[in-house]
Structure 1
Amino acid sequence: MAAIDTDPTRLSTQIVDKTIIMGDRGVLLAVLDGMGGAASGDVASALGREVLLRGVHEATIDSLQDLAEALGAATVQAHSAIRDRAAVDSSCSGMGTTLTAAGVLGDQAVIVQIGDSRAYVLRGGELVQVTEDQSLASELLASGRLSPEEAANYEHSNVILQALGVNDRVYPSITKLALCQGDVLLLCTDGLTDMVRGDTLSQTVRDGADDLRLLAQTLTTKAKLAGGFDNISVVLARCEGSELPDARAEPPSVEPMKVASTPTAPPPVRRRLEIALLLAALFLMLAMAGVIILLG
């Protein structure tokens, strides 16, 4: 069973998040959170979704490694497609999108991460985040420059280190996850996790896991009531099937995968921080331009 809910911010009727559930040859779940001036964030997320779907659909997938290669190649292709569109259309300059995708094949999932949308797994009543935010706040937290409390309230928490279409190259994080009977996968954009955090998010997912459609609506409603200043997208799926083992006592954890279709090493931390600061400056300029247009 799977469910999707997407809701625009209370401050805007434009939706730049895109979601995917595809289940003909296995399952592909994804969320994409577009960014950029005017309507270009919507263009970026829609284009990323289109290329990702096409890449996976056209690939020959007979194994988990095949799935990882297909997702990795499609991610790089999506990155190039967004950059190419921006190069020929000035209204799309600076656009980009996050991507968090989970391809499920048998009792395993391949997870692809670009940016700060997230994937979680609910197992045995515990909600565990299985992606790492590729954000400035997360990088500073990992390096010890911010405490967990400071990172949660960091003023530049929206600055990400990677986005499809923004950097010269993109370095997808690709991992695999062993699934169990009854696992619930949650993929979401930061419109949810910025508003519904920690124990509140865990309790809500745990209490609502019996009805995923209602749970998706409940999560977006809670995010809106908490402020809802960003678009909110939620994808939920329950893992069921005879090939899945019974739930294990240990929490879910991911393992990195080597994928030939993608660059093998991320940029150094210092370079990533420089990119983050450049992105912050770019998005500030775009926001100021939007204000000038509205006031003009």
Structure 2
Amino acid sequence: MAPIRRVATIQWHIKDLAIEENHEAACKYIRQAAADGAELAVLPEYHLSGWVPNDPRWAEQAGEAAKYRANYQSLAKELKICIVPGTIIEKHVGPDEDTLFYNTAYFISNDGTILGSYRKKNIWHPERPHLTSSGEERHEAIDTPIGRVGMLICWDLAFPEAFRELIADGADIVIIPTFWTPHDASPEALHHNPDSEALFLASTITSRCFENTCGIIFVNATGPKENFLGMSQVALPIVGPVAKMGTEEGVCVVNMDLGLLDIAEKNYKVRQDIGKEGWHYLYRHSSLQ
């Protein structure tokens, strides 16, 4: 695996239920990323329809997921770029004939093939009436043209266990599409710190890099500052954010020096420790048992 990977974070103001407009914006930005030499482009969570689950059109649009996934596969093959198209809401019929909605991230290779997918496990409180968790399914890393990758989604960031399971499975890079806003903090929390959620993201992303000796590609939605955070970034241990967006719309292409992962591991020996038979913690991940 080459130590330098060129990757792109893409954020813009996602329009509610404007699925074609959002898709066109995504494709435009992916083309810009490819023209700037990016090997991978990552989009935000809910990038096609936004988060409006109480509108019946949102559920209808979820039924069109396969079409847009196929479009991204064709685009990846055309541009020879890997794509993680944020998340796509997928509609499924459950075992009791009930309708289930999964929030799914895909890794599409630069030849258009799907190398892996992940369904959001840790569902944020307002999402729970609408989305189904992946539950007991394992967090698994996948081999990709940019290295061994794990995928998480938004609120998964808050759970160190998710990272540990991916790292135990050999992930070097963790990709996190997100739709994280200032209003995810309660009015009481905002009273104490209006920038509470920005602080959460800034501190947690860098901490996860250090404590797991991994790189993180975090991509969020953006828009008016009073309602959106942006903050899409690429972060690594030792140095923290390599490039960090504000609330502007657009593409940020950056070189990701994966050689820093080796430096961090030699320094902290996190992977060495969790791979030992004598690893201390009783909740040991299934991949280590």
TM-score with structure 1 setting the length: 0.33
Calculate the TM-score normalised by the size of structure 2: 0.34
- Of structures 1 and 2, the one scoring higher in RCO (CA 8 A, sep 6+) is 1
Higher helix fraction (1 or 2): 1
